Amino acid sequence: MQYALVCPTGTFRTTFAVAALSSLLLTGCEAPLNLDAVRAQSQEPLKRTDFYQSMTRNESLVVLAGNAGSLLRSPDNGESWKRIPLPTDSSFIDVETCPDGSFIALTFNNEIWHGDTRGKNWTAHALPSQEQMMTADCAPDGSWWAAGSFTTIQSSGNQGETWTETTLNEDAILNNLQFIDAESAFITGEYGMVLNTRDGGKSWDYAGYLPEEFYAHTSHFVSENEGWVGGLNGFVYHTMDGGESWERSLTGINAPIFGFVAGPSGLYALADNATVLKLSGNSWQKISNSDQPLYLRSGLLMSDNRLLAAGARGLLLNLEIPMAFSASTD
């Protein structure tokens, strides 16, 4: 709808003329307000109001999740996007790929949405706990997992029809859950807590604690023994003994670390101020040039030697990986 202020003309009664003159002195005669640009922006799949939280892919599709019900799909490695219309405005916290190529996405109102391999058809499944779930993963056997506040862990082996729940009865938030293989998984969380399982999630125990109760925003494990966590002040810690002990890695930044991206070319960290770091030996090197005051939280390495990362205010960063790094191994 367009709005315009029409300037009055002609002969008026004295009382009305005074009022009209007073109004005009305050507002003046304005040109019509054209909202075409606003309409055009609202039709774009990527919006400046989007705050992306998680990204995943199967063999043919990339799925991107964010706030206020934002769920997007790309069939061409992030070159183009389409929004997935869903009957929810709850924010998506996490999205993961299952072994069969389907997807699960966790929302802030404690629902797991299950999407087919094409990312077109999605069904919501309510989680049973009143505790806030903060992270999800699909295990190698296809079971769904979620974890969150009060050290609560939930799982379903029948695609959300029934759930089992356990807790360590500690008032702490679990915010990163990752299966390494069919038997091993790690969870990191509040107060430097590190949990693991060696029996496919049947039981969970303390693997160790991070230094000085470090709060891990993100974590990434490559085996039962080796992993990394990232958090405030640009801190990254590395373990080689399954979380029992940790050594700090130098990053050269003081911005929070929000995500890790792993692939054949190595391990990368995503941070605030649109920062991307590359692991080189025992330290990290900044490889991004942007310094926008926007966070990067999740990303993927593409086959064309490109890192696709997503974050705040609709930010999608396509970063070509320097050839000097692409041949390295970690």
DSSP string, 184-233: -EEEEEGGGEEEEESSTTS--EEEEE-GGG--EEEEEESSSS-EEEEEGG
Q: Let me know whether 287 and 316 are in one domain.
A: yes
Residues 67 and 12 in one domain: no
The verdict on 272 and 300 lying in the same domain is: yes
Residues 33 and 149 in one domain: no
Of 10 and 76, more confident? 76
- How confident is residue 26, by pLDDT bands cut at 50, 70 and 90? very low
Say what the pLDDT of residue 288 is: 94
The per-residue pLDDT for 10 is 40
Q: Which of 200, 166, 163, 162 is nearest to 180 (CA)?
A: 200
Higher local confidence (pLDDT), 19 or 276? 276
Mean predicted confidence (pLDDT) in 158-163 = 96
Same domain, 108 and 214: yes
Q: Is the domain of 17 the same as that of 154?
A: no
Share of the chain above pLDDT 90, in %: 80
Name the percent of the chain lying above pLDDT 70.
85
pTM for this entry: 0.84
Predicted confidence band at 43 (pLDDT cuts at 50, 70, 90)? low
CATH code of the domain covering residue 96:
2.130.10.10
pLDDT at 35 over 80: no
Question: Residue 23: is its pLDDT beyond 90?
Answer: no
Query: Looking at the structure, do residues 250 and 102 belong to the same domain, yes or no?
Result: yes
Q: Which pLDDT belongs to residue 7?
A: 34
Same domain, yes or no: 59 and 25 = no
Asked if the model's pLDDT at residue 225 lies above 90, the reply is: yes
pLDDT at 316: 95
**pLDDT single digits (tens) 125-141:** 999 988 999 999 999 99
Say yes or no to pLDDT of 74 above 80: yes
Q: In terms of domains, do 298 and 182 share one?
A: yes
pLDDT at position 207 is 96
Q: With 80 as the cut, is the pLDDT of residue 29 above it?
A: no
19 and 52 share one domain:
no
Question: Average pLDDT of the chain?
Answer: 87
Q: Grade residue 6 by pLDDT with cuts at 50, 70 and 90.
A: very low
- Is-contact 267 228, C-beta < 8 A? yes
**In the chain, how many domains are there?**
2
Q: Which long-range contacts (CB under 8 A, 24 or more apart) does 103-107 make?
A: 103/56, 103/58, 103/63, 104/136, 104/138, 104/144, 105/54, 105/63, 105/65, 105/71, 105/136, 106/133, 106/135, 106/136, 106/146
**Model confidence pLDDT, tens digit, residues 237-291:** 999 999 999 999 999 999 999 999 999 999 999 999 999 999 999 999 999 997 8
Q: What is the pLDDT of residues 196-212, one digit of tens each?
A: 999 999 999 999 999 98
Confidence of residue 323 (pLDDT cuts 50, 70, 90): low
Instruction: Please check whether residues 101 and 22 belong to one and the same domain.
Output: no
| Domain around 308 | 45-326
* 73 and 31 co-located in one domain: no
How many residues are present in the chain? 330
